Amino acid sequence: MEALLKVRNLKKHFPVTKGIIMEKQVGLVKAVDGVGFDVNKGETLGLVGESGCGKSTTGRCILRLIEPTEGEVEFNGVNVRTLDNQALRRIRKDMQMVFQDPFASLNPRMKVGDIIMEPILLHGIAKGREAREKVKNLLDVVGLAGYHAERYAHEFSGGQRQRIGIARALAVEPKLIVCDEPVSALDVSIQAQIINLMEDLQEQFDLTLIFIAHDLSVVHHISDRVAVMYLGRIVEMAGYRELYENPCHPYTKALLSAIPVPDPKAKKEKIMLRGDVISPLNPPPGCNFHTRCPYAIPRCRDEAPELKETDTGHSVACHLVNP
């Protein structure tokens, strides 16, 4: 399959400074530290992990909403990192984002119709009556009514606001949409509606998706492949069925064991990780996960494992799996 997006050794380090008048850098927060993957056309890649592992930062670096510190991002054969502002603005038409907070991402002073129409006018896709018709069609596509265009964001529920955010992303007819935890702020029943909507829209508009979430049960139904992140690095990546049925990395096993089973009689072994997530400001040497891993060996404390493919088609960063 042809890769639409190629990410290589992506890093984002935030400087930590001290002082008011004479600021001095005292450290670096390694939010993203060497992430790499491909996303094929029409595919959905699920990106999961605990809060603070660098998922959202990865998505924003891909779109250059924040500038990466290092690495390459190639979209449709174009190196995104080398583009000037004008060229980046043109390519943004093909790369859109659905944000986590459906209320904060919508301008409260603009009507919904104007919010969706703004990118249409900005990129010269349509104007006048044609633009207004396109807005109504987009509202219909995401499950809202045409008259909703005259309302403001505060008049909608959380799920409806997220539908508006999706309609805005679709307005410029993109090829890639980065969904940054689009259902984490919604009720469980609404989460299912939004996920089903994204699946329908992907088929209808031939979209490629990066679906970011902290819950493995959420990405299970929408992803073709799943990448698991821990402290700025990908520790495991595989097809969704293979990853859920045969997890290899201890961190992935722990995440899967935490998924509730809707059967009070079912018995499921839970893997309890010791300690808390360490700070990305001062990560330990070796494997980032060894301080919490129940299977850590001395090598884990000294040598960081590489992400290598196993015989089963997994890519795993673990000395126990790839000795």
- Residue 40 identity: N
Q: Is 244 among the domain residues?
A: yes
- Residue 116 identity: I
Q: Is 54 among the domain residues?
A: yes
Q: Is 238 among the domain residues?
A: yes
| Residues of the domain holding 240 | 3-316
pLDDT at 184: 83
Q: Is 224 among the domain residues?
A: yes
Contact 232, 35 (CB under 8 A): yes
Q: Could you give the number of structural domains in the chain?
A: 1
Structure tokens at 157: 């529920």
Q: Check which CATH number belongs to the domain holding 172 and give it.
A: 3.40.50.300
Q: What are the helix (H) ranges across the chain?
A: 55-62, 85-91, 112-122, 128-141, 158-170, 188-205, 216-219, 240-245, 250-257, 298-302
pLDDT at 179: 94
pLDDT at 62: 96
Query: pLDDT tens digits for the chain (323 residues)?
Result: 689 999 999 999 998 888 877 788 888 899 999 999 999 999 999 999 888 889 999 999 999 999 999 999 999 999 999 999 999 999 999 999 999 888 888 999 999 999 999 999 999 999 999 999 999 999 999 999 999 999 999 999 989 999 999 999 999 999 999 999 888 878 888 888 889 999 999 999 999 999 999 888 888 888 999 999 999 999 999 998 999 989 999 999 988 888 777 777 777 777 778 777 777 887 878 898 988 888 889 999 999 999 998 777 789 999 988 87
Q: CA dihedral in degrees (107, 108, 111, 115; nearest 10)? A: 10
What b/e sequence results for 199-208 when a residue is b if at least 16 CB atoms lie within 10 Å of its CB, and e otherwise?
eebbeeeebb
pLDDT at 6: 96
Bridge partners, residue 277, by sequence = none
pLDDT at 203: 92
Q: Is 203 helix (H, G, I), strand (E, B) or coil?
A: helix
Q: Is 254 among the domain residues?
A: yes
Q: Is 253 among the domain residues?
A: yes
* Cα–Cα nearest to 49, from 244, 246, 254, 188: 254
Q: What is the DSSP letter of 188?
A: H
* Cα–Cα nearest to 296, from 313, 284, 312, 307: 284
Q: Is 321 among the domain residues?
A: no
Q: Is 42 among the domain residues?
A: yes
pLDDT at 143: 92
